[in-house]
A and B are shown apart, each in its own frame.
Chain A
């Protein structure tokens, strides 16, 4: 579905600093309908990688193939949810989630009807006329997710979609996001800092090393689906989580920061 090979990216040198290599020869692959996670410490270039895959940033080297072809631009072809929810303060919740449909030329009544049909599933029913400001952190996340889902792309890049939520809400949202994915079967690449979250949700976990960001290992998660939180306590799960966690911990202080 989406295939990246040999991606490298360096940011131009600022005064007093040498050029900063952010990504070095990164490759990954997303099969149709797969849920794939990307874990790595800060500085492993996860967000930069997502921005390249979303078409917002051009790589210095390497290429991205969508359905086997190299598109002119990835912009507008890939669903992208940045770390911040970026809900627009001047639009109601409903108008925020329909912005992708609006840009695709869907008439407003139709766009709204499609959004309303999803409000309950995304836990936003009754809040469609509220300003984003009035929503809680969890609701803002779900609104941002709904905006991404409604835009209708097959591949979704989610940059820490459950970051900055309290532990309880985060756990609920994991199960909820799994349910949503299992019914829609979109192709998802999710960035997270949380090893358990990555293993619980994914078919495959890419572990990245930092400075410069590079692919360390891809761990296949063969646990049966549908999965629930209880799975986290099984021995098979813990073994897989350890396989992801160990390289992450080994990477610590391996290279002196520039």
Chain B
């Protein structure tokens, strides 16, 4: 029964067992982006058709083409405001990431601190940020500072919770194994706890990205400094310049999508092992369609 050189037999066996991943790139891209783009085109077409057929007033519902015209016409006002809002979001969101991750690492290093701080972290979120936004303006003025603070406040929580939960999520058995290999506390943090926290952190980052855009608009409404897309939306609304208002909303949406995509791209770079999982399950799910 003995095979000649069973070690080589095991190698051959191993090769057979391995899974083959991957499909042509262009076809995958078409399959991924095609349907949502077609869907968007259909919705925009129906919208355009409805506006031109029903004769609804432009101040109530402008057509997509009118919005596009307003976007071009008001670009001189929209562009600097968009830049203001983008800066607010990037600084506020960035601060929230730094604070959230910092707090998570601090809490992870001390179980006592975790027990002491975690419940308060959750309770702090029961205070609605809009309720204290006016106070923030009192404390930090009408400038960029108050916007950054409000954005950081609303996006901090999901980031901190994601990072803390992630750092807690490491299998204890892995930490034990590393200890038998001679790993100290910092080694275990670096080799196991931080990497296993990343998927949780990125869930938090995605939620926080959405919240940061909402936070920016709200902050500009509460304490305006005559610029920013949130401010413009209010102004255009008062002027019943509905098409221009829609144009500002479109830009805000684009900023939100851009930030979301940025987080997604960062995740693909920093959490490549999850991506491999996602791709293999997707190709398994769609294999039936292609064959």
Q: Footprint of B on A, CB under 8 Å? A: 51, 54-56, 75-76, 78-80, 82, 84, 86, 88-91, 99-100, 103-104, 120-121, 123-127, 130-131, 133-136, 138-139, 142, 151, 169, 172-173, 175-176, 179, 228-230
Interface size range of chain B in the complex: 35 or more
Chain A residue numbers with a CB within 8 Å of B284 are none
Question: Please, how many angstroms separate the alpha-carbon atoms of A194 and B266 in the complex?
Answer: 48
Question: Please, how many angstroms separate the alpha-carbon atoms of A19 and B276 in the complex?
Answer: 46
Which among B11, B181, B271, B273 is the interface contact of A76 at CB below 8 angstroms?
B181
A124-B14, A138-B14, A173-B10 as given contacts; A103 in contact with B178, CB under 8 Å: yes
A-B contact pairs, 25 of them (CB 8 A): A54-B180, A76-B179, A79-B180, A80-B180, A82-B176, A82-B177, A86-B174, A88-B192, A90-B195, A90-B273, A100-B181, A103-B182, A121-B7, A123-B11, A126-B15, A131-B273, A135-B18, A136-B17, A142-B14, A169-B13, A172-B6, A172-B9, A172-B10, A173-B10, A176-B10
Which among A56, A78, A142 is the interface contact of B176 at CB below 8 angstroms?
A56
| Nearest chain B CB to A101 CB, angstrom units | 9
The reply to whether B178 and A99 form a contact with Cβ atoms under 8 Å apart is yes
Question: Please, how many angstroms separate the alpha-carbon atoms of A133 and B271 in the complex?
Answer: 14
Question: A75-B182, A121-B7, A138-B17 provided; 11 other pairs, C-beta below 8 A?
Answer: A56-B179, A86-B171, A86-B177, A120-B7, A123-B7, A127-B14, A134-B280, A138-B13, A139-B17, A175-B6, A230-B2
Which among B9, B187, B273 is the interface contact of A103 at CB below 8 angstroms?
B187
The reply to whether A123 and B183 form a contact with Cβ atoms under 8 Å apart is no
The reply to whether B195 and A84 form a contact with Cβ atoms under 8 Å apart is no
| Nearest chain A CB to B63 CB, angstrom units | 49
Report whether over half of chain B's contact residues are helix, strand or loop; otherwise say mixed: helix
Chain B residue numbers with a CB within 8 Å of A82 are 173, 176-177
The reply to whether A133 and B273 form a contact with Cβ atoms under 8 Å apart is yes
Chain B residue numbers with a CB within 8 Å of A172 are 3, 6, 9-10, 13
Question: Please, how many angstroms separate the alpha-carbon atoms of A130 and B21 in the complex?
Answer: 11
Chain A residue numbers with a CB within 8 Å of B191 are 88, 99, 103
Residues from 1 to 51 in B contacting A, C-beta threshold 8 Å: 1-3, 6-7, 9-11, 13-15, 17-19, 21
The reply to whether B173 and A103 form a contact with Cβ atoms under 8 Å apart is no
Chain A residue numbers with a CB within 8 Å of B224 are none
Which among A76, A127, A136, A138 is the interface contact of B180 at CB below 8 angstroms?
A76
The reply to whether A228 and B2 form a contact with Cβ atoms under 8 Å apart is yes
The reply to whether A90 and B198 form a contact with Cβ atoms under 8 Å apart is yes
Task: Considering the complex, give the chain B residue whose CB is closest to the CB of A179.
Answer: B7
